[in-house]
Structure 1
Amino acid sequence: MTFIKRAIPLLLVLVSCGKKQDSILPLETKMTESVYSSVTIQPDSLYQVYAAVNGILDINLVEEGDLVAKGEPILQIINTSPKLNTENARLNVQLANENYQGSFAILRDIEDEMNAALLRFKNDSINFYRQENLWKQKIGSKLEYDTKKLNFELSTNQLQLLKTKYNRTKNELKTQLEQAKNSYKTSLINTKDFTVDSKINGKIYALLKNPGELVNTMEPIAAIGKEDIFLIEMLVDEVDIVKISLGLKALITLDAYGSDVFEAKISKIYPRKDERSQTFIIEAEFTAPPKVLYPGLSGEGNIIIAEKEKTLTIPKEYLIEGNKVNTSDGLMDVTIGLQNLDRVEILSGITKDTYLQKPEK
């Protein structure tokens, strides 16, 4: 009998201790909400170099890692376009020039037709006005008058048509001559060896073709960027991009630098979404960059979108249905604010003295 009386209080204590192990109080802590992104380091002003003509790479005038000045030659291409194209273009210029102003020009033939038409017009004009005067004096027949009037009208129309034809043909031949000259100039450029120059003061990061390889206008042949200015390229999920704005602080870690954290600021947001990865590209600039950087270094970034030095927070796992918590008085609605990976800010609904029960799984 004595054993039973002692066992019951002990059981109550054990049950009570089990409940307290799952009860916590909210904490007032610093709260930071951030957006995660993957990170890749790229040189500023990095661009891919393309050839303006098809051909064979003759020689690379620089090596990867070399510094180059704007306008400095970096490689030489031998053009493989047939010189026959240039000769054909030259003959087209000659023919177009001959048609426009040569001794056998098309315009000269039209001028001869116009002169003949002008003579017929003058003759028909004289005959018509003479016959008209006679007809007014009741001399001659109506048929003779109508015939000379018709001839006069026909010769007038023919002369006007030839003048229009002359002006139109002249403009067409002039245009053809200019087009032929432009084609000839282009062919002259394309038949020469072509040298590719750097567009910026920078560094050669890649030479993508070896001497002797074919080069075309569709494939890059080199990559050039700034020597000592690097940008942080960050990929942000589409559900988070609306939270990002220019000037926000980002904390960057790079695989090459272990646990070191570098501060940066968002400098550019690209508005176009990559449909394959469903992400947006944004750029950031280091506040104090590492001493050594290389293109392609990868890492992770957290973009700080909100911070509070002291606020009421609870573990996320104690939140029920997104806006409720389990207390000693039952379920209570709460208003949440900032969130991070493991904690959530409570704006209203409970106090720092409210015990919370962990939800059952």
Structure 2
Amino acid sequence: MLFKKAIPCLLLLVSCGKNQEIVHPVETKMTESVYSSVTIQPDSLYKVYSAVNGILDINLVEEGDLVKKGAPILQIINTSPKLNTENARLNVKLAQEKYQGNYAILRDIQDEMNAARLRYRNDSINFFRQENLWKQKIGSKLEYDTKKLNFELSTNQLQLLQTKYNRTKNELKTQLEQAKNSYRTSLINTEDFTVDSKIDGKVYALFKNPGELVSTMEPIAAIGKDDVFIIEMLVDEVDIVKIALGLRALITLDAYGSDVFEAKISKIYPRKEERSQTFKIEAEFVSPPKVLYPGLSGEGNIVVAEKENSLTIPKEYLIEGNKVRTSEGYVSVSIGLQNLDRVEILSGITKDTELLKPEK
């Protein structure tokens, strides 16, 4: 009997003797962060476009040059035909004649108004005379109704013509102003055109060489601040709700190896990039590196929560998102903060609980 009782115990030791990894939860500082890719860009970076089509005559600056606001960047020879300008000038003359000259449109309406005004006065006199007679029981009801109807019709006709005259005059005035604007635009388009810088900054790119065609649809240069850089970060859509302005971010750049730079979240773009399924946010360096170039890349971790003395376990010991395997079986737990390696346990186990690594 003694020998029989010893067999189960022996089997237990053998089972336990297999390479079973056992850990205990530990209390440590827990930091939860959100990962993002990083690209460095100059502040206020913008693409320069031309207001006219033409041929690039000369670049007045070189890439890397510092420019002041309003400084000329390049000169464009406009190739727009001068015929457009002559047509615009004729349109102004025609619109001016319609509005201010003896053009038939307003004159004809004015003649109709003068005739309608005479009819109105005549019908008015006849109606009020007939009305006085009718009050004295003189004349017939038919005569009274006829003169009243004529008076009302002439009144309405005069009002309609007055409205038509005012509306037509306003339309002609608008057409004149539009023709003048088109003429001014055509005058600009027939001249050589100089593109100026909109900010104090640095020329980061020139996209055209002298002699190449310039279109209003294509950028011809890129200009941005030379001393202020922003950090563009792409965050996965599942993490964007955790991001808030002012959160701390830890940045590493490929150009600086393992150096870590602190930054603060300064802007969150509300629109998702459909192609990458990410949201773009911006951050500013607390203490930026001494040398930065547009396009430098790296990685960032945005700190969304921190907690001292958290009870944590290795993330690989968590099963199905809310269970752990103990020496007494599977136990449900409540989790809190998480990072890449560990997860916080809020309830379900203690620091004395033995945890077995889940079986694969």
The reply to whether TM is greater than 0.5 is yes
Whether the 8 Å contact between 2:80 and 2:190 is mirrored in structure 1 is yes
Alpha-carbon distance, 1:239 to partner:
0.7
Amino acid at match of 1:237: D
- Partner residue in 2 for 1:175: 174
Question: Matched residue of 1:82: which SS?
Answer: coil
Q: Distance in 2 between matches of 1:102 and 1:202?
A: 52
Higher alpha-carbon Rg: 1
Deviation per CA, 1:263-321, whole angstroms, max 9, x where unpaired? Answer: 11111111111111110111111111111111111111111112233322221222222
Q: Distance in 2 between matches of 1:95 and 1:342?
A: 79
Deviation per CA, 1:184-205, whole angstroms, max 9, x where unpaired? Answer: 2222222222221111111111
Whether the 8 Å contact between 2:20 and 2:356 is mirrored in structure 1 is no
- Partner residue in 2 for 1:4: none
1:209–1:335: structure 2 CA closer, same or farther, 3 Å change rule?
A: same
State how 1:50-89 maps to structure 2 within 5 Å.
50-89=49-88
Q: Distance in 2 between matches of 1:113 and 1:298?
A: 76
Amino acid at match of 1:185: R
Deviation per CA, 1:84-117, whole angstroms, max 9, x where unpaired? Answer: 1111111111122222232455433444454455
1:120–1:221: structure 2 CA closer, same or farther, 3 Å change rule?
A: same
| Seq. identity, % | 86
Task: State the number of aligned residues.
Answer: 352
- Partner residue in 2 for 1:342: 341
Alpha-carbon distance, 1:14 to partner:
7.7
1:237–1:167: structure 2 CA closer, same or farther, 3 Å change rule?
A: closer
CA RMSD of superposed structures (Å): 3.4
Q: Distance in 2 between matches of 1:16 and 1:335?
A: 30
Q: Distance in 2 between matches of 1:348 and 1:332?
A: 10
Alpha-carbon distance, 1:80 to partner:
2.1
Q: Distance in 2 between matches of 1:346 and 1:354?
A: 12
Q: Distance in 2 between matches of 1:337 and 1:194?
A: 62
Whether the 8 Å contact between 1:50 and 1:221 is mirrored in structure 2 is yes
- Partner residue in 1 for 2:321: 322
Alpha-carbon distance, 1:250 to partner:
1.2
- Partner residue in 1 for 2:195: 196
1:231–1:127: structure 2 CA closer, same or farther, 3 Å change rule?
A: closer
Alpha-carbon distance, 1:166 to partner:
3.5
1:147–1:221: structure 2 CA closer, same or farther, 3 Å change rule?
A: same
Deviation per CA, 1:195-244, whole angstroms, max 9, x where unpaired? Answer: 21111111111111112222222221111111011111111111111111
> Unpaired runs of 5+ in structure 2?
1-6
1:134–1:219: structure 2 CA closer, same or farther, 3 Å change rule?
A: same
> Unpaired runs of 5+ in structure 1?
1-7
Stretch moving more, 96-105 or 344-353: 96-105
1:319–1:106: structure 2 CA closer, same or farther, 3 Å change rule?
A: closer
- Partner residue in 1 for 2:44: 45
Stretch moving more, 162-171 or 242-251: 162-171
- Partner residue in 2 for 1:298: 297
1:40–1:142: structure 2 CA closer, same or farther, 3 Å change rule?
A: closer
1:124–1:359: structure 2 CA closer, same or farther, 3 Å change rule?
A: closer
- Partner residue in 1 for 2:270: 271
State how 1:1-361 maps to structure 2 within 5 Å.
15=14, 18-19=17-18, 21-115=20-114, 162-361=161-360
1:324–1:177: structure 2 CA closer, same or farther, 3 Å change rule?
A: closer
Stretch moving more, 252-261 or 321-330: 321-330
- Partner residue in 2 for 1:3: none
- Partner residue in 2 for 1:5: none
Whether the 8 Å contact between 1:98 and 1:105 is mirrored in structure 2 is no
1:150–1:264: structure 2 CA closer, same or farther, 3 Å change rule?
A: closer
1:241–1:131: structure 2 CA closer, same or farther, 3 Å change rule?
A: closer
Question: Matched residue of 2:86: which SS?
Answer: helix
Q: Distance in 1 between matches of 2:331 and 2:137?
A: 121
Stretch moving more, 145-154 or 18-27: 145-154
Q: Distance in 1 between matches of 2:307 and 2:135?
A: 110
1:324–1:135: structure 2 CA closer, same or farther, 3 Å change rule?
A: closer
Amino acid at match of 2:77: I
Amino acid at match of 2:328: D
Question: Matched residue of 2:168: which SS?
Answer: helix
